[in-house]
Amino acid sequence: EETPENREEIGRAIIATILDEYSEKRVREGAARLTQDQRGTLQRLLFNQAYRLGSVQPLLDDPDVENIHIKGADNVMVRKTDGSTVHLDPVAANDDALIAMIQGWCEELGEGAREFNASSPALAMTLPSGDRLQAFHPPISSRPSVVVRCHRKRNITLEDLVDLGMLSQDAADFLTAAVKARLSIVVSGHPNAGKTTFVRALAAAFDPDEPVITIETERELHLGAPQHYNVLSLEARPGQGERDVK
């Protein structure tokens, strides 16, 4: 019986069976059996199509990719961890296919009720990988658009930021003392300024057993062991038309 826990394992087994049958069919028709490389490539493609982001998944798997920007099926670019931008091939045949792809992600990958259509044109969700996806549907955008923020630095401390040259040692010591003193700290900045990474580094200064509650539109902080053992992570749920009746 398929359950959320064994769903992907069953999927891999089904894909393996399909590829076995396809390889045998090739032999019966006089063609060569699938090589291990061909089989591995097809296995990844089919699995990504059914259980991941399809043609976008290889970009998510690339550790050098920081953000993925899709402004229509044929306008795709990624921002890399070194700050460079690279333009890539289309991820779908056309904009309608891109919309269908995003709708499939809502049904298969979303943690809660998610819709993506002209009536619900703004989508925000956390992917199984923990990365954040935002998408916009016409008419609020001229073309279907997707942005995926890939969180590459999850277990990071203020000392790590010092080593990376992003923070002085005096600033790190001051911020550590401020966290220990339970002072309020406001973190602000423009998109891609590193706010989420910086908040993670601040949170790393908490006592590991300190009770922590995070409230986010989409889960991005992903605080947990070994740095945090007592975390309640809350995420906003899209409204479903409910209203209070008084």
Cβ-based burial of 142 (10 A; exposed 0-12, middle 13-18, buried ≥19): exposed
Nearest 10 degrees: Cα torsion 8, 14, 18, 19? 50
Report the predicted TM-score, pTM, of the whole model to 2 decimal places.
0.69
Tens digit of pLDDT for each residue in 160-169? 999 989 899 9
Strand, coil or helix: what is 39? helix
pLDDT at 185 over 90: yes
pLDDT given at position 110:
61
Averaged pLDDT score across all residues of the chain? 87
pLDDT given at position 105:
87
Q: Which residue has the higher pLDDT, 218 or 106?
A: 106
pLDDT band at 242 (very low <50, low <70, confident <90, very high): low
Sorted by sequence, the CB contacts under 8 Å of residue 176 that are 6+ apart come out as 158, 205
Q: What is the mean pLDDT of residues 193-209?
A: 90
Q: Which residue has the higher pLDDT, 183 or 193?
A: 183
Reported as type and span, the H/E element at residue 80 is strand 76-80
Distances (CA, A) of 240 to 112, 113, 229: 11, 9, 33
**Hey, how many other C-beta atoms are within 10 angstroms of the C-beta on 73?**
20
Q: Which residue has the higher pLDDT, 229 or 52?
A: 229
Q: What is the mean pLDDT of residues 42-53?
A: 84
Q: Which residue has the higher pLDDT, 232 or 111?
A: 232
Q: What is the mean pLDDT of residues 224-229?
A: 81
Tens digit of pLDDT for each residue in 78-132? 999 888 999 999 999 999 999 999 998 888 776 555 789 999 999 988 887 778 8
pLDDT given at position 146:
96
pLDDT at 243 over 70: no
pLDDT given at position 10:
86
